[in-house]
């Protein structure tokens, strides 16, 4: 016996709510399984849903509730800066805060747009690819230590027709090895400390890659490493833009100042009013 869309959704929303999961997952997942636009989806609530779709949808909802598997791993994509990116368990699911980091870099480009920008730890490639498409004259380099992440980023770049040089290696190491110099270095590195692990939901801690989330030295190890490499990469009047944990602003500023005493640094808040970006003119 087939069911109407609103009935299927009602079941899923109640089940999610009972299990302390976000109920909007139901709408997004069913919309994905039906392969319809948002508008179409909300216009067809009384339509019958084919049984095989109901079954797949049920299985996904149960999986999500039981294991915390994020909806983006079930659908295989996430949107970032208005574009659709493939994601999987080898890359961090892109977060809206990181769109603000990209926006900030775009708002503070030097006059001359034929510049070189390096994205460190590119993951799915969202930062590098968005910059390549939004700043067409810039030369974009992206690094990651993970081959699997680079494979995902390359596929996203190909799909979205972004021209990027991908380099495998630890933070800025491959950029230094190739003697590439950059005007801007941008990064959303791992910045969660081991002590904060317990505060994370199972959706994050069991499904985003460890390598993308956690950093030693109280979450500061990646910034330390990148700052120590920066002098070998950055051009005169260059800048660096980091996404940060909301309590790390001053510590990251201090790391930059240590290497670049004459730099001007700013901490910028995200849309939720939390410190989220450190931007420095070096």
Extract the annotated binding site.
121-125, 144, 171, 188-191
Q: Which helix (H) or strand (E) holds 112?
A: none
Question: Could you give the CA distance from residue 130 to residue 80 in angstroms, rounded to a whole number?
Answer: 8
Q: Which is nearer to ligand GLN, 41 or 171 (CB)?
A: 171
Backbone angles phi, psi at 106, to 5 degrees: -65, -40
In whole angstroms, the minimum distance from the beta carbon of 191 to ligand GLN comes to 8
In whole angstroms, the minimum distance from the beta carbon of 241 to ligand GLN comes to 12
Q: Is the dihedral of CA 228, 234, 236, 237 positive or negative?
A: negative
Question: Could you give the CA distance from residue 46 to residue 180 in angstroms, rounded to a whole number?
Answer: 58
Maximum CA pair distance of the chain? Answer: 72
Residue of minimal Cβ distance to ligand GLN = 123
Q: Which is nearer to ligand GLN, 13 or 188 (CB)?
A: 188
Backbone angles phi, psi at 240, to 5 degrees: -130, 140
Token pair of 171 as six digits: 């933070």
Q: Which is nearer to ligand GLN, 57 or 81 (CB)?
A: 81
Residue ranges that bind ligand GLN, judged by CB under 6 A: 92, 94, 98, 121-124, 126-127, 188-190, 212
Could you list the residues known to form a binding site for S-adenosyl-L-methionine, using ranges: 121-125, 144, 171, 188
Q: Which is nearer to ligand GLN, 152 or 253 (CB)?
A: 152
In whole angstroms, the minimum distance from the beta carbon of 164 to ligand GLN comes to 12
In whole angstroms, the minimum distance from the beta carbon of 200 to ligand GLN comes to 14
Comparing CA positions, the residue from 165, 188, 174, 163 lying closest to residue 105 is 188
């Amino acid at each position: 016996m087939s069911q109407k869309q609103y009935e299927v959704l009602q079941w899923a929303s109640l089940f999610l709510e009972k299990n302390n999961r976000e109920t909007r997952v139901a709408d997004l997942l069913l919309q994905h399984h039906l392969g319809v636009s948002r508008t179409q989806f909300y216009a067809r609530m009384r339509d019958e849903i084919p049984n095989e779709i109901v079954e797949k949808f049920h299985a996904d909802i149960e999986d999500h509730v039981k294991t915390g598997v994020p909806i983006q791993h079930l659908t295989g994509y996430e949107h970032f800066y208005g574009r659709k990116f493939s994601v999987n368990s080898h890359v961090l699911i892109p977060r809206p805060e990181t769109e603000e980091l990209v926006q900030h870099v775009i708002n503070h480009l030097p006059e001359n747009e034929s510049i070189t920008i390096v994205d460190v730890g590119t993951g799915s490639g969202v930062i590098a690819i968005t910059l390549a498409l939004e700043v067409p004259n810039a030369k974009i380099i992206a690094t990651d230590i993970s081959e699997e992440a680079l494979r995902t980023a390359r596929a996203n770049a190909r799909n979205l027709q972004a021209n990027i040089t991908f380099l495998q290696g630890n933070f800025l190491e491959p950029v230094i090895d190739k003697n590439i110099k950059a005007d801007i270095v941008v990064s959303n590195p791992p910045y969660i400390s081991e002590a904060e692990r317990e505060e994370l939901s199972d959706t994050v801690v069991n499904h985003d890659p460890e390598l993308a989330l956690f950093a030693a030295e109280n979450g500061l190890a990646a910034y330390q490493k990148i700052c120590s490499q920066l002098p070998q990469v950055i051009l005169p009047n260059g800048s660096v833009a980091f996404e940060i944990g909301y309590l790390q602003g001053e510590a990251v500023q201090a790391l930059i100042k240590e290497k670049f005493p004459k730099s001007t640094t700013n901490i910028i808040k995200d849309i939720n009013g939390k410190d989220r970006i450190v931007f420095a003119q070096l």
